[in-house]
Amino acid sequence: MTSPAVGTVAALPPTEPVLATEAALARIRPDVRATQAYAVQDAASLLKLDAMENPYPLPPLLRDELGRRLGRVALNRYPGADAQALRDRLGQWTGLPAGWGVVLGNGSDELISLLAVACARPDAQVLAPEPGFVMYGVSARLAGLGFQGVPLNADFSLDVPAMRAAIATHRPALVYLAYPNNPTANLWAAEAVRAVIAAQAGQGLVVVDEAYQPFAAHSWLDEARANPAANAHVLVLRTLSKFGLAGARLGYALGPAALIAELDKVRPPYNVSSLNAECAQFALDHADTFARQAQAIRASRDELLQTLATLPDVTVFPSEGNMVLIRVPDAQKTFDGLRAQGILIKNVSTMHPLLAQCLRLTVGTPDDNRRMLAALQTSL
Protein backbone atom coordinates (compact mmCIF):
# COMPACT_ATOMS: atom_id res chain seq x y z
CA MET A 1 0.00 0.00 0.00
CA THR A 2 1.43 3.35 -1.06
CA SER A 3 1.37 6.16 1.53
CA PRO A 4 0.29 9.67 0.49
CA ALA A 5 3.17 11.83 -0.64
CA VAL A 6 4.60 14.22 1.92
CA GLY A 7 2.65 17.54 1.87
CA THR A 8 -0.54 16.03 0.44
CA VAL A 9 -3.86 15.32 2.16
CA ALA A 10 -5.41 11.88 1.94
CA ALA A 11 -8.73 11.93 0.12
CA LEU A 12 -11.78 11.46 2.31
CA PRO A 13 -14.70 9.31 1.18
CA PRO A 14 -17.38 11.32 -0.62
CA THR A 15 -20.30 12.56 1.49
CA GLU A 16 -23.88 12.91 0.29
CA PRO A 17 -24.76 16.62 -0.11
CA VAL A 18 -27.86 16.26 2.08
CA LEU A 19 -25.81 14.73 4.88
CA ALA A 20 -23.19 17.46 4.56
CA THR A 21 -25.87 20.13 4.88
CA GLU A 22 -27.38 18.42 7.91
CA ALA A 23 -23.98 18.18 9.57
CA ALA A 24 -23.41 21.88 8.97
CA LEU A 25 -26.87 22.75 10.33
CA ALA A 26 -26.10 20.75 13.46
CA ARG A 27 -23.34 23.26 14.24
CA ILE A 28 -25.85 26.12 14.40
CA ARG A 29 -27.21 26.84 17.88
CA PRO A 30 -30.51 25.06 18.59
CA ASP A 31 -32.14 28.28 19.82
CA VAL A 32 -31.27 29.99 16.53
CA ARG A 33 -32.71 27.12 14.50
CA ALA A 34 -35.87 27.17 16.60
CA THR A 35 -36.62 30.85 16.06
CA GLN A 36 -38.08 32.68 13.07
CA ALA A 37 -36.46 35.37 10.92
CA TYR A 38 -37.88 38.89 11.18
CA ALA A 39 -40.81 38.94 8.76
CA VAL A 40 -41.53 41.84 6.41
CA GLN A 41 -45.01 41.85 4.93
CA ASP A 42 -45.35 41.80 1.15
CA ALA A 43 -46.65 45.24 0.22
CA ALA A 44 -46.71 44.87 -3.58
CA SER A 45 -49.65 46.82 -5.07
CA LEU A 46 -50.86 47.80 -1.58
CA LEU A 47 -51.03 51.12 0.26
CA LYS A 48 -48.27 50.51 2.79
CA LEU A 49 -49.37 51.61 6.25
CA ASP A 50 -47.71 48.89 8.32
CA ALA A 51 -44.15 50.03 9.09
CA MET A 52 -44.31 53.62 10.44
CA GLU A 53 -42.52 55.11 7.45
CA ASN A 54 -42.61 58.76 6.46
CA PRO A 55 -45.19 58.78 3.64
CA TYR A 56 -43.71 61.84 1.95
CA PRO A 57 -41.04 61.35 -0.75
CA LEU A 58 -38.34 63.92 -1.38
CA PRO A 59 -39.43 66.92 -3.43
CA PRO A 60 -38.08 66.63 -7.00
CA LEU A 61 -35.46 69.37 -6.59
CA LEU A 62 -34.06 67.78 -3.44
CA ARG A 63 -34.13 64.35 -5.04
CA ASP A 64 -32.03 65.65 -7.91
CA GLU A 65 -29.63 67.36 -5.52
CA LEU A 66 -29.22 64.15 -3.50
CA GLY A 67 -28.50 62.22 -6.70
CA ARG A 68 -25.72 64.62 -7.61
CA ARG A 69 -24.22 64.42 -4.12
CA LEU A 70 -24.28 60.64 -4.04
CA GLY A 71 -22.70 60.57 -7.47
CA ARG A 72 -19.67 62.38 -6.06
CA VAL A 73 -19.11 59.90 -3.22
CA ALA A 74 -15.79 58.05 -3.56
CA LEU A 75 -17.15 54.50 -3.55
CA ASN A 76 -13.68 53.07 -4.20
CA ARG A 77 -12.65 54.15 -0.68
CA TYR A 78 -13.73 52.86 2.71
CA PRO A 79 -15.75 55.25 4.87
CA GLY A 80 -13.58 57.41 7.09
CA ALA A 81 -13.73 61.11 7.70
CA ASP A 82 -17.34 61.22 6.48
CA ALA A 83 -18.47 59.13 9.47
CA GLN A 84 -16.59 61.34 11.94
CA ALA A 85 -18.03 64.45 10.32
CA LEU A 86 -21.52 62.98 10.65
CA ARG A 87 -21.00 62.19 14.34
CA ASP A 88 -19.90 65.78 14.95
CA ARG A 89 -22.86 67.10 13.00
CA LEU A 90 -25.38 64.94 14.86
CA GLY A 91 -23.91 66.09 18.16
CA GLN A 92 -24.42 69.70 17.19
CA TRP A 93 -27.88 69.12 15.73
CA THR A 94 -29.20 67.29 18.80
CA GLY A 95 -27.65 69.70 21.30
CA LEU A 96 -25.54 66.97 22.85
CA PRO A 97 -25.27 67.24 26.65
CA ALA A 98 -21.81 68.16 27.96
CA GLY A 99 -19.51 65.15 28.21
CA TRP A 100 -21.62 63.00 25.89
CA GLY A 101 -20.61 61.36 22.62
CA VAL A 102 -22.14 59.78 19.51
CA VAL A 103 -21.79 56.34 17.91
CA LEU A 104 -23.32 55.42 14.54
CA GLY A 105 -25.17 52.27 13.52
CA ASN A 106 -26.57 50.73 10.38
CA GLY A 107 -30.01 51.60 11.66
CA SER A 108 -30.75 51.60 15.39
CA ASP A 109 -31.39 47.83 15.09
CA GLU A 110 -27.63 47.30 14.74
CA LEU A 111 -26.96 49.38 17.83
CA ILE A 112 -29.45 47.27 19.81
CA SER A 113 -27.51 44.18 18.72
CA LEU A 114 -24.17 45.79 19.59
CA LEU A 115 -25.41 46.71 23.05
CA ALA A 116 -26.33 43.09 23.65
CA VAL A 117 -22.88 41.94 22.49
CA ALA A 118 -21.15 44.50 24.69
CA CYS A 119 -23.09 43.36 27.77
CA ALA A 120 -23.06 39.60 27.08
CA ARG A 121 -21.49 38.36 30.32
CA PRO A 122 -22.52 35.02 31.91
CA ASP A 123 -26.06 35.20 33.31
CA ALA A 124 -26.54 38.80 32.15
CA GLN A 125 -30.13 39.91 31.66
CA VAL A 126 -31.96 42.44 29.50
CA LEU A 127 -35.24 43.87 30.74
CA ALA A 128 -37.96 45.83 28.94
CA PRO A 129 -41.67 46.59 29.30
CA GLU A 130 -44.01 44.51 27.16
CA PRO A 131 -45.60 44.80 24.70
CA GLY A 132 -42.63 46.57 23.17
CA PHE A 133 -40.17 46.44 20.30
CA VAL A 134 -39.48 42.77 19.57
CA MET A 135 -35.79 43.30 18.73
CA TYR A 136 -34.88 44.00 22.35
CA GLY A 137 -35.60 40.38 23.21
CA VAL A 138 -34.39 38.91 19.92
CA SER A 139 -31.00 40.67 20.10
CA ALA A 140 -30.55 39.74 23.75
CA ARG A 141 -31.18 36.05 23.16
CA LEU A 142 -29.00 35.89 20.05
CA ALA A 143 -26.12 37.33 22.08
CA GLY A 144 -26.66 34.77 24.85
CA LEU A 145 -28.35 37.05 27.37
CA GLY A 146 -31.57 36.34 29.19
CA PHE A 147 -34.58 38.54 28.48
CA GLN A 148 -37.20 39.58 31.01
CA GLY A 149 -40.39 41.24 29.82
CA VAL A 150 -42.41 43.25 32.35
CA PRO A 151 -46.08 43.72 31.37
CA LEU A 152 -47.42 47.23 31.07
CA ASN A 153 -50.61 48.24 32.80
CA ALA A 154 -53.88 47.59 30.96
CA ASP A 155 -53.86 51.18 29.64
CA PHE A 156 -50.27 50.64 28.40
CA SER A 157 -48.79 52.91 31.05
CA LEU A 158 -45.53 51.93 32.72
CA ASP A 159 -45.97 49.65 35.73
CA VAL A 160 -43.32 51.27 37.92
CA PRO A 161 -43.64 48.93 40.95
CA ALA A 162 -43.32 45.89 38.67
CA MET A 163 -40.33 47.42 36.88
CA ARG A 164 -38.61 48.19 40.19
CA ALA A 165 -39.25 44.66 41.45
CA ALA A 166 -37.92 43.12 38.23
CA ILE A 167 -34.78 45.26 38.37
CA ALA A 168 -34.17 44.26 41.99
CA THR A 169 -34.69 40.57 41.19
CA HIS A 170 -32.86 40.23 37.87
CA ARG A 171 -30.23 42.99 38.21
CA PRO A 172 -30.27 43.58 34.44
CA ALA A 173 -27.28 44.80 32.48
CA LEU A 174 -29.66 46.67 30.15
CA VAL A 175 -33.11 48.17 30.60
CA TYR A 176 -34.90 49.41 27.46
CA LEU A 177 -37.53 52.15 27.60
CA ALA A 178 -39.06 53.03 24.22
CA TYR A 179 -40.09 56.67 24.35
CA PRO A 180 -42.70 56.66 22.70
CA ASN A 181 -43.39 52.94 22.84
CA ASN A 182 -43.92 50.63 19.88
CA PRO A 183 -46.51 49.24 19.12
CA THR A 184 -48.66 51.05 21.70
CA ALA A 185 -47.59 54.54 20.46
CA ASN A 186 -47.94 56.21 23.87
CA LEU A 187 -45.38 58.36 25.67
CA TRP A 188 -44.92 57.24 29.26
CA ALA A 189 -45.14 59.80 32.05
CA ALA A 190 -41.75 61.41 32.69
CA GLU A 191 -41.94 60.74 36.42
CA ALA A 192 -42.46 57.02 35.72
CA VAL A 193 -39.42 56.93 33.44
CA ARG A 194 -37.36 58.81 36.02
CA ALA A 195 -38.31 56.23 38.64
CA VAL A 196 -37.16 53.32 36.48
CA ILE A 197 -33.90 55.08 35.58
CA ALA A 198 -33.24 55.72 39.28
CA ALA A 199 -33.94 52.06 40.12
CA GLN A 200 -31.35 50.94 37.55
CA ALA A 201 -28.65 53.34 38.81
CA GLY A 202 -25.71 51.34 40.10
CA GLN A 203 -26.94 48.21 38.30
CA GLY A 204 -26.33 48.87 34.62
CA LEU A 205 -27.47 50.78 31.56
CA VAL A 206 -30.79 52.30 30.61
CA VAL A 207 -31.45 52.79 26.90
CA VAL A 208 -34.15 55.33 26.10
CA ASP A 209 -35.18 54.46 22.55
CA GLU A 210 -36.42 57.59 20.78
CA ALA A 211 -37.10 56.11 17.35
CA TYR A 212 -40.31 58.17 17.10
CA GLN A 213 -38.91 61.37 18.57
CA PRO A 214 -39.87 63.56 15.54
CA PHE A 215 -43.54 63.07 16.47
CA ALA A 216 -43.33 63.22 20.27
CA ALA A 217 -43.95 66.11 22.64
CA HIS A 218 -40.86 65.42 24.76
CA SER A 219 -37.31 64.11 24.38
CA TRP A 220 -35.24 62.51 27.13
CA LEU A 221 -32.27 64.57 25.98
CA ASP A 222 -33.96 67.51 27.73
CA GLU A 223 -33.89 65.49 30.95
CA ALA A 224 -30.23 64.57 30.46
CA ARG A 225 -29.24 68.22 30.00
CA ALA A 226 -31.27 69.33 33.01
CA ASN A 227 -30.07 66.56 35.34
CA PRO A 228 -26.88 64.91 34.03
CA ALA A 229 -26.10 63.13 37.32
CA ALA A 230 -29.42 61.25 37.29
CA ASN A 231 -28.78 60.16 33.69
CA ALA A 232 -25.11 59.20 33.92
CA HIS A 233 -26.01 55.57 33.04
CA VAL A 234 -28.44 56.46 30.23
CA LEU A 235 -28.03 56.14 26.47
CA VAL A 236 -30.50 57.79 24.08
CA LEU A 237 -31.07 55.82 20.90
CA ARG A 238 -32.33 57.49 17.74
CA THR A 239 -32.77 56.77 14.06
CA LEU A 240 -33.21 58.74 10.86
CA SER A 241 -35.68 56.13 9.59
CA LYS A 242 -38.79 57.89 10.91
CA PHE A 243 -37.19 61.23 10.06
CA GLY A 244 -37.58 60.22 6.42
CA LEU A 245 -34.56 58.03 5.59
CA ALA A 246 -35.84 54.52 6.30
CA GLY A 247 -34.07 53.24 3.19
CA ALA A 248 -30.70 54.73 4.19
CA ARG A 249 -30.38 52.76 7.47
CA LEU A 250 -28.78 55.26 9.82
CA GLY A 251 -29.13 55.05 13.59
CA TYR A 252 -27.15 56.69 16.35
CA ALA A 253 -26.71 56.44 20.10
CA LEU A 254 -25.99 59.39 22.37
CA GLY A 255 -24.61 59.03 25.86
CA PRO A 256 -21.80 59.68 28.33
CA ALA A 257 -18.50 59.53 26.46
CA ALA A 258 -17.15 56.64 28.54
CA LEU A 259 -20.15 54.45 27.67
CA ILE A 260 -20.09 55.44 24.00
CA ALA A 261 -16.38 54.53 23.81
CA GLU A 262 -17.11 50.98 25.00
CA LEU A 263 -19.99 50.55 22.55
CA ASP A 264 -17.74 51.79 19.76
CA LYS A 265 -15.34 48.90 20.45
CA VAL A 266 -17.89 46.27 19.36
CA ARG A 267 -18.96 48.22 16.28
CA PRO A 268 -17.83 46.55 13.03
CA PRO A 269 -15.36 48.62 11.01
CA TYR A 270 -17.03 50.74 8.35
CA ASN A 271 -20.52 49.71 9.54
CA VAL A 272 -22.02 52.91 8.10
CA SER A 273 -21.41 53.27 4.39
CA SER A 274 -20.30 56.50 2.77
CA LEU A 275 -23.64 56.58 0.95
CA ASN A 276 -25.56 56.30 4.22
CA ALA A 277 -23.46 59.04 5.78
CA GLU A 278 -23.92 61.35 2.78
CA CYS A 279 -27.70 60.78 2.86
CA ALA A 280 -27.72 61.71 6.53
CA GLN A 281 -25.65 64.86 5.96
CA PHE A 282 -28.02 65.79 3.15
CA ALA A 283 -31.03 65.30 5.43
CA LEU A 284 -29.48 67.53 8.10
CA ASP A 285 -28.75 70.17 5.45
CA HIS A 286 -32.48 70.14 4.67
CA ALA A 287 -33.79 69.47 8.17
CA ASP A 288 -36.43 72.17 7.74
CA THR A 289 -38.06 70.16 4.93
CA PHE A 290 -38.20 67.03 7.07
CA ALA A 291 -39.47 69.06 10.03
CA ARG A 292 -42.37 70.30 7.91
CA GLN A 293 -43.14 66.73 6.90
CA ALA A 294 -43.11 65.66 10.57
CA GLN A 295 -45.46 68.52 11.41
CA ALA A 296 -47.83 67.41 8.64
CA ILE A 297 -47.74 63.85 9.97
CA ARG A 298 -48.52 65.03 13.51
CA ALA A 299 -51.48 67.05 12.20
CA SER A 300 -52.73 64.06 10.20
CA ARG A 301 -52.32 61.85 13.28
CA ASP A 302 -54.45 64.15 15.40
CA GLU A 303 -57.17 64.24 12.75
CA LEU A 304 -57.00 60.46 12.42
CA LEU A 305 -57.35 60.01 16.19
CA GLN A 306 -60.43 62.24 16.23
CA THR A 307 -62.11 60.38 13.38
CA LEU A 308 -61.29 56.93 14.73
CA ALA A 309 -62.82 57.93 18.07
CA THR A 310 -66.20 58.39 16.35
CA LEU A 311 -66.33 54.85 14.95
CA PRO A 312 -68.53 52.40 16.87
CA ASP A 313 -66.84 49.32 18.33
CA VAL A 314 -63.36 50.87 17.92
CA THR A 315 -61.18 51.68 20.94
CA VAL A 316 -58.47 54.25 20.15
CA PHE A 317 -55.36 54.67 22.28
CA PRO A 318 -53.34 57.90 22.66
CA SER A 319 -50.41 58.35 20.29
CA GLU A 320 -47.19 60.36 20.36
CA GLY A 321 -45.74 58.54 17.34
CA ASN A 322 -46.57 58.28 13.65
CA MET A 323 -48.83 55.31 14.35
CA VAL A 324 -52.16 54.68 16.05
CA LEU A 325 -53.16 51.58 17.99
CA ILE A 326 -56.81 50.56 17.90
CA ARG A 327 -58.82 47.65 19.30
CA VAL A 328 -61.62 46.18 17.17
CA PRO A 329 -64.07 43.30 17.67
CA ASP A 330 -62.21 40.96 15.28
CA ALA A 331 -58.65 42.00 14.39
CA GLN A 332 -57.97 39.28 11.82
CA LYS A 333 -61.25 39.86 9.98
CA THR A 334 -60.63 43.61 9.90
CA PHE A 335 -57.00 43.16 8.78
CA ASP A 336 -58.09 40.82 5.98
CA GLY A 337 -60.83 43.20 4.92
CA LEU A 338 -58.40 46.11 4.67
CA ARG A 339 -55.91 44.04 2.72
CA ALA A 340 -58.61 42.94 0.29
CA GLN A 341 -59.23 46.63 -0.39
CA GLY A 342 -55.53 47.31 -1.01
CA ILE A 343 -54.57 48.64 2.45
CA LEU A 344 -51.73 47.01 4.41
CA ILE A 345 -51.60 47.60 8.17
CA LYS A 346 -50.12 45.57 11.05
CA ASN A 347 -52.08 42.98 12.97
CA VAL A 348 -50.43 42.99 16.41
CA SER A 349 -53.21 41.09 18.18
CA THR A 350 -51.09 37.96 18.79
CA MET A 351 -47.91 39.74 19.95
CA HIS A 352 -48.95 39.97 23.61
CA PRO A 353 -52.13 39.31 25.64
CA LEU A 354 -52.51 43.04 26.33
CA LEU A 355 -52.81 43.57 22.55
CA ALA A 356 -55.78 41.26 22.07
CA GLN A 357 -57.78 42.30 18.96
CA CYS A 358 -55.45 45.26 18.33
CA LEU A 359 -54.29 46.69 15.00
CA ARG A 360 -51.51 49.22 14.42
CA LEU A 361 -52.07 51.87 11.75
CA THR A 362 -49.26 53.97 10.30
CA VAL A 363 -50.18 57.63 9.83
CA GLY A 364 -50.04 58.42 6.12
CA THR A 365 -50.81 61.46 4.02
CA PRO A 366 -54.32 62.92 4.38
CA ASP A 367 -55.36 61.01 1.24
CA ASP A 368 -53.79 57.78 2.55
CA ASN A 369 -55.70 58.19 5.81
CA ARG A 370 -59.01 58.81 4.01
CA ARG A 371 -58.56 55.63 1.97
CA MET A 372 -57.64 53.65 5.06
CA LEU A 373 -60.60 54.97 7.07
CA ALA A 374 -63.07 54.15 4.30
CA ALA A 375 -61.69 50.63 4.03
CA LEU A 376 -61.68 50.24 7.81
CA GLN A 377 -65.36 51.14 8.15
CA THR A 378 -66.38 48.50 5.59
CA SER A 379 -64.08 45.90 7.17
CA LEU A 380 -65.20 46.15 10.79
pLDDT of amino acid 322 = 96
Measured distance CA(355)–CA(177) in Å, rounded = 18
pLDDT of amino acid 2 = 55
**Where in the chain are the domains?**
47-58+288-379, 75-285
Let me know if domain 75-285 sits in CATH 1.20.210.10.
no
Same fold, 47-58+288-379 and 75-285: no
- Using CA atoms of 318, 157, 100, 232 in order, give the dihedral in degrees to the nearest 10: 160
The mean pLDDT values, 10 residues at a time, for the chain of 380 residues are 58 72 89 84 90 94 95 92 90 94 96 97 96 96 96 98 98 98 97 98 97 95 96 96 90 97 95 94 95 96 97 96 97 97 97 98 97 95
pLDDT of amino acid 39 = 79
pLDDT of amino acid 7 = 59
Buried b (16+ CB within 10 A) or exposed e, 70-108: eeebeeeeebeebbeebbebbbeebebbeebbbbbbbbb
pLDDT of amino acid 118 = 97
pLDDT of amino acid 82 = 81
Residues sharing a CB contact under 8 Å with residue 236, sequence separation 6 or more, in sequence order = 207, 208, 210, 219, 220, 221, 224, 253, 254, 255
Q: What is the CATH superfamily name and number for domain 47-58+288-379?
A: Aspartate Aminotransferase, domain 1 (3.90.1150.10)
pLDDT of amino acid 4 = 55
Q: In this predicted model, what pLDDT tens digit does every residue of 11-41 receive, in sequence order?
A: 656 667 778 888 888 998 888 888 888 878 8
pLDDT of amino acid 243 = 86
pLDDT of amino acid 34 = 86
3-state helix, strand, coil in the chain (%, to 5): 45, 15, 40
Q: In this predicted model, what pLDDT tens digit does every residue of 290-338 receive, in sequence order?
A: 999 999 999 999 999 999 999 999 999 999 999 999 999 999 999 999 9
pLDDT of amino acid 159 = 98
- Find, among 211, 186, 218, the residue nearest to 316 by Cα: 186
